[in-house]
Chain A
């Protein structure tokens, strides 16, 4: 459902500090699977995730979102192809696709400080113009699901690491995206919390979601709900369990 064709991503091209972070990756990922990208630091995992998640455009190559994603996610305003090449879309559509298709969980959690947990979770829904009451109810349901109901009105800086991560997951799920993208989700967690995170991923998979995780934590890529582990080195694919 997500296809990468000979994707390359270079930084500072044409300058002395030119660097190619992703170098000719061809890859295809199925829906409703948990895929882990592993590799040493600097191997290009984060870069690859941001390309898949439509956060950045590749220097060359094509990225295609395919059938298998519910159509309304791909074409919220209607459309007649079953395939969309995101690399050629204008910025506005890219944003639209990003917020409907992908939920991001960042390494640093990236919650907004100074505002409440509830507001943080609701944020991704704001640009969609849904009814405030509906959005709030959905956000509260998500918090409930992660056992955070009591913390809804807390400021995010008061949260513990585990709580913050669960808030970040709730936020990623806010627009009910079919694909969850997580970058080093367990980097700031102890092993107990890391397993708890993987349990959540398993639950999401049961709900039919797709997960793409970048990690070099064995707790992640050795977990039983992981369907596929892809090794990356120097921007190139090195191994694949699929």
Chain B
């Protein structure tokens, strides 16, 4: 009963402000930040679009058909040019984009053989 609680800033009351105040503030901040995502995306898209156009120009000039994102195998390097059934044929242990590739592993013998060649 004789415990002294130092005065807080809000109106000199020694009681803490209601909890909903920071919460509502955070909610507002959250909504604002979510909005900011879209604004930021818009602004950066705007500034990036010219370099994307330049990329398209390079693609046109070199007559490219694909992105150089996955260079591991030929059907991943040029997925749009790959023939329709190139499972396992580029690297026996490469990850498959066919669903069965994640179920069935290539035979150990094949893997050993390739290990020597690499």
A interface residues (Cβ-Cβ under 8 A, vs B): 118, 132, 136, 147, 149-153
- B15 touches A (CB below 8 Å): yes
B15 touches A118 (CB 8 A): yes
B15 pairs with A152, CB closer than 8 A? yes
What are 13 A-B residue pairs whose CB atoms fall within 8 Å in the complex? A118-B15, A132-B18, A136-B15, A147-B1, A149-B1, A150-B1, A150-B2, A150-B3, A151-B1, A152-B15, A153-B5, A153-B15, A153-B16
Q: How far is the CB of B41 from chain A (nearest CB, A)?
A: 39
Q: How far is the CA of A14 from the CA of B5 in the complex (A)?
A: 59
Which residues in A have their C-beta under 8 angstroms from that of B2?
A: 150
Chain B interface, >50% SS class: loop
Specify which chain B residues have a CB less than 8 angstroms from the CB of A151 in the assembled complex: 1
Task: List, in ascending order, chain A residues with CB within 8 A of B18's CB.
Answer: 132
Tally of chain B residues near chain A (CB < 8 A): 7
SS class of chain A's interface: helix, strand, loop or mixed? helix
Q: How far is the CB of A95 from chain B (nearest CB, A)?
A: 23
Q: How far is the CA of A60 from the CA of B54 in the complex (A)?
A: 85
> Knowing that A149-B1, A150-B2, A153-B5 are A-B contacts, what are 4 other residue pairs whose CB atoms are under 8 Å apart, sorted by A's residue number?
A118-B15, A132-B18, A150-B1, A153-B15
Residues of B within 8 A of A (CB): 1-3, 5, 15-16, 18
B15: which A residues are within 8 A, CB to CB? 118, 136, 152-153
Q: How far is the CA of A153 from the CA of B3 in the complex (A)?
A: 11
In Å, the complex CA distance between A149 and B3 comes to 10
| A149 CA to B1 CA, complexed, in Å | 7
Q: In the complex, what's the smallest C-beta–C-beta distance from A162 to chain B, in angstroms?
A: 13
**Bound Cα distance A92, B15 (Å):** 34
Task: Please name all residues of chain B whose beta carbon is closer than 8 Å to the beta carbon of A150 when the two chains form the complex.
Answer: 1-3
Closest to B16 in A: A153
> Given the complex, which residues of B lie within 8 Å of A153, measured CB to CB?
5, 15-16
Q: In the bound complex, how far is the Cα of B15 from the Cα of A113, in angstroms?
A: 19
Give Cα distance in the complex from A147 to B5, angstroms. Answer: 17
Residues of B within 8 A of A147 (CB): 1
Contacts of A132 in B (CB 8 A): 18
